[in-house]
Amino acid sequence: MSDALSNDHDASDMSGGDDGQEDVMTPSELIGKLEEAWLNEKFSPELLENKSERVECVMEQLTHMEANLQRVRKGDMKASVHRMEIDRIRYVLSSYLRSRLKKIEKFFPHVLEKEKSRAEGDTSFLSPEEFAFAKEYLANTETYLKAVALKHMPPNLQTVDMLKAVPEPCLDSFVFLRVRARQENILVEPETDDQREYVVDLDEGSQHLMRYRTIAPLVSSGAVQLI
Amino acid sequence: MFCEKAIEIIRELHRMGDGQLPAFNEDGIRQVLEEMKALYEQNQSDVNEAKSEGKSELIPTIKFRHCCLLRNQRCVTAYLYDRLLRIRALRWEYGSVLPTNIRFHMCAEELEWFNQYKKSLATFMRSLGGEEGLDITQDMKPPKSLYIEVRCLKDHGEFEIDDGTIILLKKNSQHFLPRWKCEQLIRQGVLEHIMS
């Protein structure tokens, strides 16, 4: 369906951002990548790396499509098909951003801690706007708890350690995945004491159900896709 | 027994399932805080006594009271935090303006938290993409069909759709219209989506 886009658009190349981290992509590749990021984020128990360049590109794309739609002759069959496509893309994008926001809110002290302690060159997990949102959420919640209860408590109990109080993401939850690039010698840690660790090879195209922790680095590298 | 009130307020909240928000139990919180104050003061005097008169047999009681204090703190914060989560869900369900009956169930500080949360969310949404941002509280479900059945809730006059036809939106009339054209009116409460 996304091929219908390329016929109507002037700009069929989408070069992401100014740092050129993403290669020049066609619109359908861009949407494909958005869907991958969307699924990964939806099924992963923890917050994944932020893909704000992709988000920006998709938004540009949507604006472009809306503008094109205005120019199409009214009542033309193509208009409704394009309209549906715009709505679908907007849904995927919104759902992706909502997944991220939900996780940021759910794990806010840990997310902020992770961001604070990351090294200079590492990619950020939060976009600047998400970071601001997370900080505001923390401040808002702390202010609230203090005002309603904590300030009325005995002096030694007036603070709550958010890192301890808010649960961490459960990295041992099981996820379904499809393998994109063959992986060898993946070490699977034992779950119980009477199991022993073992090693698996993941064949390209195969699908598995595994603990997230085992394959977390493969998700960020793109070697597997969560489904 | 200590900490009973704290458990009671949590149980009361837990009983209201489905994310409903019961009235803020100001009385319950106040009672727990008073209990904490009493426990703390008892501990203070015991600690002084134990230090000055070397009465180390008071130490187990002191420890026990301290555990009760921690438990009370934990229960109260859990109660308050769970309410915040429910309030947060309200923003996503009802939008920025809450129905009055729900607002009555919230204390002043919760309303303040809600306002701040709304603001943060709005700032975030506006920052998405280049220009006006993206309202991610819309498009909650994947678009299923191009056309939807709608009922008109108020008189809205004439309405033009893409192929030039003009529809008269009279109260209680039903129409089969393109979904994207109706979204704005559905949000405004002029049209109602009929799901069969």
CATH assignment of the domain containing A211: 3.40.5.60
Same domain flag for A129 and A156: yes
Residue finishing a domain among A119, A135, A167? A167
Q: Which residues in chain B have their CB less than 8 angstroms from residue A145's CB?
A: 77, 80-81
Same domain flag for A55 and A163: yes
Q: Does residue A15 sit within a domain?
A: no
Tokens of A28: 């359908």
Residue finishing a domain among A126, A149, A167? A167
Q: Over 80: is that where the pLDDT of B12 sits?
A: yes
Q: Which residues in chain B have their CB less than 8 angstroms from residue A41's CB?
A: none
pTM value is 0.82
Query: Chain B within 8 Å of A158 (Cβ-Cβ)?
Result: no
Same domain flag for B69 and B120: yes
Q: Does residue A72 sit within a domain?
A: yes
Query: Chain B within 8 Å of A55 (Cβ-Cβ)?
Result: yes
Interface contacts (A, B; CB < 8 Å): 117
- Neighbouring CB atoms inside 10 A of A80's CB total 18
Total number of domains in chain B: 2
Q: Which residues in chain B have their CB less than 8 angstroms from residue A101's CB?
A: 124, 136
Q: Name the band, by pLDDT with cuts 50, 70 and 90, for residue B196.
A: low
Could you list the residue range(s) of the whole structural domain that residue A38 is in? 27-167
> For residues B82 and B57, which has the higher predicted lDDT (pLDDT)?
B82
Query: Chain B within 8 Å of A178 (Cβ-Cβ)?
Result: no
Q: Does residue B140 sit within a domain?
A: no
Tokens of A70: 């205005």
Stretch (H or E) spanning A110? helix A108-116
Share of chain A above pLDDT 70, in %: 88
Q: Which residues in chain B have their CB less than 8 angstroms from residue A160's CB?
A: 73, 77
Beta-carbon separation of A75 and B113 below 8 A: no
| Calculated CA dihedral for residues B27, B5, A157, B120, nearest 10 degrees | -60
> For residues B26 and A118, which has the higher predicted lDDT (pLDDT)?
B26
Query: Would you state the pLDDT for residue A6?
Result: 42
Lowest-pLDDT range of A2-6, B102-106, B113-117 = A2-6
Query: Would you state the pLDDT for residue A75?
Result: 63
Q: Does residue A20 sit within a domain?
A: no
Stretch (H or E) spanning B71? helix B59-94
Q: What is the DSSP string of A78-89?
A: HHHHHHHHHHHH
CA atoms of B49 and A36, how far apart (whole Å) = 66
The residues, ordered by sequence, that sit 6+ positions from A122 with a Cβ below 8 Å of its Cβ are: none
CA atoms of A136 and A66, how far apart (whole Å) = 33
Query: Chain B within 8 Å of A60 (Cβ-Cβ)?
Result: yes
Q: Over 60: is that where the pLDDT of B9 sits?
A: yes
Same domain flag for B87 and B155: no
* Identity of the residue in B29, B40, B116 whose CB atom sits nearest the CB atom of A149: B29
CATH of residue B158's domain is 3.40.5
CA distance B152 to chain A (A): 23
Same domain flag for A195 and A214: yes
Tokens of B182: 């109706």
CATH of residue B106's domain is 1.20.58.1030
Could you list the residue range(s) of the whole structural domain that residue B103 is in? 4-127
Total number of domains in chain A: 2
Residue B168, beta-bridge partner list: B158
CA-nearest residue of chain A to B33?
A: A153
CA atoms of A52 and A173, how far apart (whole Å) = 26
Query: Would you state the pLDDT for residue A183?
Result: 79
Q: Does residue A140 sit within a domain?
A: yes
Same domain flag for A194 and A132: no
Q: Name the band, by pLDDT with cuts 50, 70 and 90, for residue A15.
A: very low
Beta-carbon separation of A160 and B109 below 8 A: no
Provide the chain A residues 86-145 that lie in CB contact (below 8 A) with chain B: 87-88, 90-91, 93-95, 97-98, 101, 105, 129-130, 132-133, 136-137, 140-141, 143-145
Q: Does residue B107 sit within a domain?
A: yes
Beta-carbon separation of A55 and B76 below 8 A: no
Lowest-pLDDT range of A1-15, B1-15, B54-68, B75-89 = A1-15
CA-nearest residue of chain A to B124?
A: A129
Query: Would you state the pLDDT for residue A12?
Result: 40
Same domain flag for A183 and A211: yes
CA atoms of B183 and A174, how far apart (whole Å) = 38
CA distance B123 to chain A (A): 8
pLDDT tens-place string over residues B83-101: 999 999 888 888 888 888 8
CA atoms of A220 and B111, how far apart (whole Å) = 39
Q: Does residue B138 sit within a domain?
A: no
- The mean predicted confidence, pLDDT, of chain B is 86
The complex's ipTM? Answer: 0.81
* Identity of the residue in B84, B138, B143 whose CB atom sits nearest the CB atom of A84: B143
Q: Which residues in chain A have their CB less than 8 angstroms from residue B120's CB?
A: 132-133, 136-137, 140
Q: Which of A49-53, A130-134, A160-164, B124-128 is modeled with the greatest confidence?
A: A130-134
Q: Does residue A77 sit within a domain?
A: yes
Residue A25, beta-bridge partner list: A14
CATH of residue A70's domain is 1.20.58.1030
> For residues B185 and A173, which has the higher predicted lDDT (pLDDT)?
A173
- The mean predicted confidence, pLDDT, of chain A is 82
Same domain flag for A206 and A129: no
Same domain flag for B40 and B111: yes
Q: Does residue B82 sit within a domain?
A: yes
Q: Which of B41, B116, B126, B144 would you mutate first to test chain A, the one with the most A CBs within 10 A?
A: B116
Q: Name the band, by pLDDT with cuts 50, 70 and 90, for residue A10.
A: very low
Q: Over 90: is that where the pLDDT of B56 sits?
A: no
> For residues A149 and A118, which has the higher predicted lDDT (pLDDT)?
A149
Q: Are A175 and A162 in contact (CB under 8 A)?
A: no
Same domain flag for A142 and A65: yes
Same domain flag for A138 and A156: yes
Q: Name the band, by pLDDT with cuts 50, 70 and 90, for residue A25.
A: confident
Q: Name the band, by pLDDT with cuts 50, 70 and 90, for residue A74.
A: low
Query: Would you state the pLDDT for residue A20?
Result: 42
Same domain flag for A87 and A190: no
Q: Which residues in chain B have their CB less than 8 angstroms from residue A95's CB?
A: 139
Q: Does residue B132 sit within a domain?
A: no
CA distance A197 to chain B (A): 38
Q: Does residue A5 sit within a domain?
A: no
Same domain flag for A188 and A148: no
Same domain flag for A149 and A80: yes
Query: Would you state the pLDDT for residue B163?
Result: 65
Q: Does residue B15 sit within a domain?
A: yes
Same domain flag for A63 and A125: yes
* Identity of the residue in B113, B129, B180 whose CB atom sits nearest the CB atom of A87: B180
Q: Are A27 and A12 in contact (CB under 8 A)?
A: yes
Share of chain B above pLDDT 70, in %: 96
pLDDT tens-place string over residues A82-130: 888 888 999 999 999 999 999 999 999 999 998 888 877 777 888 889 9
